[in-house]
Structure 1
Amino acid sequence: MANSELNPHIESLTARHARLEARLADEQRRPLPDPVRLTQIKREKLRLKEEVSRSRTH
């Protein structure tokens, strides 16, 4: 991936990560948070974080 393409890609991943963070916070504020949903959100956040890390090192 070219340098000029890298920043928008990382920005997109970071924005998706932030949206997941908000979804996670919303779910945790529910009276009875769904543990399966929490796990799914956390896994997706981790996947995005790892992808951002890989993108920055390449």
Structure 2
Amino acid sequence: MSVQSHIEALTAKHAALEQELHLETRRPAPNDSVVADIKRRKLEIKDEINRITH
């Protein structure tokens, strides 16, 4: 897997998590632990993208 394709895959995962977070926070009673987990995973992906690109 090339670096560019790896970054694209991570970006796609980040976008999917953003959508999942959006859906969870729009629920009548969002689960705080689920929201926190999604945010943590998004941050891990963002950090990995930053490590690769810098």
- TM-score, normalised by the number of residues in structure 2: 0.96
> Alignment identity in percent?
44
Tell me the secondary structure at the aligned position of residue 48 of structure 1.
helix
Specify which of 7, 10, 13 is matched with residue 10 of structure 2: 13
State how far apart, in whole Å, the 1-side matches of 2:43 and 2:15 are: 12
Mapping for residues 1-58 of structure 1, pairs under 5 Å: 5-57=2-54
CA distance in 2, matches of 1:34, 1:44: 16
Aligned CA RMSD, in angstroms, stands at 1.1
Q: Which amino acid aligns with 1:5?
A: S
Structure 2: unaligned runs, 5 residues or longer: none
The alignment's TM-score, normalised by the length of structure 1, stands at 0.90
Structure 1 unpaired stretches of 5+: none
| Pair member with larger Rg | 1
